[in-house]
């Protein structure tokens, strides 16, 4: 009963925070965060806080993920590319929303752990790739949606080119000391890009390389 009440409070908190999309809310309801955090943090699984994971990385707070998903606007027929698998929690949520998820992670330890979790949970529409995701995944594109769990400085053309017409990229745009949740949308029938901002959101800078040694 206590866990059910905590889950209900968790979902109501996401809704009051602005997550109104039914598919995304159902994803948060179906996917238990407890399955993606260490046992020492299980009491915090229903709290809106970021949590540490292996390899010195962190799992974003549910509220931050909810904001990113709202900006992403994915639907059931979408092919989604995720940069930064981490624990696999966001990947699992996305798998409940889109048709398929390809997720990239530079840390082999995280890749193997995520694959194990997905297999245990019976999630079959996620492909986990151990590679540097800082340039996307040209050979598997185009994608309807791309989500980056990190901050971007400079041009994002390399990702825009991997979107279908009308597709969207969501990440954090960092200009000097200001970091904003941003959506870039590739216009239908052209190469022009529409950009929208959704307020401050801080995430680590998207690093390049290193996947071969981690």
pLDDT in tens, 126-165: 999 999 999 999 999 999 999 999 898 888 999 999 999 9
Q: What six digits make up the tokens of 26?
A: 């159902």
Q: Let me know the angle formed at the C-alpha of 40 by 36 and 44, rounded to the nearest 5 degrees.
A: 70
Which class for 61: exposed (0-12), middle (13-18), buried (19 or more C-beta within 10 A)? middle
Q: What pTM did the predictor assign?
A: 0.92
Any idea where the domains of the chain sit in the sequence? 2-213
Residue 77 backbone dihedrals phi, psi, to 5 degrees: -95, 5
pLDDT of residue 116: 97
Which residue carries 């059910």 as its tokens?
4
Closest CA to 111 of 139, 96, 80, 133: 133
Looking at residue 176, what is its pLDDT? 83
CATH topology of domain 2-213: Rossmann fold (3.40.50)
**87 catalytic residue (yes or no):** no
Q: Which long-range contacts (CB under 8 A, 24 or more apart) does 115-121 make?
A: 117/35, 117/36, 117/87, 117/88, 117/92, 118/88, 118/91, 118/92, 120/35, 121/35, 121/92
Query: Quick one: pLDDT at residue 195?
Result: 84
Taking only the tens place, the pLDDT of each residue in 30-45 is 999 999 998 899 899 9
pLDDT given for residue 13 in this prediction? 87
pLDDT reported for residue 2? 61
Q: What are phi and psi of 202, to 5 degrees?
A: -100, 130
DSSP symbol at 213: G
> Any idea which residue has 């930064």 for tokens?
84
Residues whose CB falls within 8 Å of the CB of residue 205, separated by 6 or more in sequence, listed in order: 150, 151, 153, 174
Determine which one of 60, 95, 134, 211 is catalytic: 60
For the chain, the distance separating the N- and C-terminal CA atoms, rounded to the nearest angstrom, is 42
Residues of the chain with pLDDT under 70: 1-2, 190-191, 207-214
SS3 43: helix
């Amino acid at each position: 009963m206590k866990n059910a009440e905590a889950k209900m409070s968790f979902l109501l908190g996401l809704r009051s925070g602005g997550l109104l999309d039914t598919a995304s809310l159902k994803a948060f309801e179906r996917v238990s965060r407890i399955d993606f955090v260490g046992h020492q943090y299980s009491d915090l699984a229903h709290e809106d806080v970021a949590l540490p994971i292996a390899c010195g990385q962190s799992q974003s707070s549910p509220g931050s993920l909810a904001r990113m998903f709202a900006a992403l606007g994915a639907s059931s027929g979408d092919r989604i590319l995720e940069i930064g698998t981490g624990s696999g929690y966001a990947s699992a949520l996305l798998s409940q929303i889109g048709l398929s998820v390809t997720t990239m992670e530079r840390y082999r330890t995280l890749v193997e752990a995520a694959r194990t979790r997905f297999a245990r949970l019976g999630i079959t529409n996620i492909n986990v790739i151990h590679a540097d995701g800082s340039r996307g995944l040209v050979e598997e594109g185009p994608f309807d949606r791309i989500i980056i769990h990190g901050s971007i400085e400079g041009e994002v053309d390399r990702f825009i080119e991997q979107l279908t017409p009308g597709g969207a990229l969501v990440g954090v745009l960092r200009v000097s000391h200001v970091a904003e949740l941003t959506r870039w949308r590739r216009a239908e029938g052209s190469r022009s890009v529409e950009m929208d901002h959704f307020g401050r959101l801080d995430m680590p800078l998207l690093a390049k390389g290193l996947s071969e040694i981690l």
